[in-house]
Amino acid sequence: HYTFGNYPVNEKNQSGKKIPGTPLINLNSGIQYSFINKFTLNIFHFYSDKIPLDNNNISWANPVNIINMKAGYTLKFRTLESNIYAGVNNLL
């Protein structure tokens, strides 16, 4: 709900227009699954709704969906523990 209040620019009032660079909706979600106390699988989803690119709200950037996935393995040696991860970004 980020909009201009009383904001005149070149004899044109921008009141009520969306502020450029501010998406209407942002959503971040994720799932983590662990099994056998050694393996993990993480899936993350990021969504950004359309974004106004100018003060007049004429140009808009398209919505974006991004899905990232990461798998991990836990190594234990006596009192030391290490995690190894490999992943893929932007699966879409």
Phi, psi of 86, rounded to the nearest 5 degrees: -140, 145
For 19, the enclosing helix (H) or strand (E) is: none
Asked if residues 69 and 41 have their Cβ atoms less than 8 Å apart, the reply is: yes
Q: Which two tokens stand for residue 63?
A: 């919505």
Average pLDDT over residues 64-77: 95
Q: What pLDDT shows up at residue 80?
A: 93
Distance CA 3, CA 14 (A): 9
Tell me the mean pLDDT in the region 74-88: 93
- Per-residue pLDDT band at 4 (split at 50, 70, 90): confident
Give pTM, 2 decimals. Answer: 0.73
9 has pLDDT over 90? no
Give yes or no for residue 92 having a pLDDT over 90. no
Rounded-to-integer distance, Cα 64 and Cα 61, Å: 9
What is the rounded distance in angstroms from the CA atom of residue 59 to the CA atom of residue 54? 6
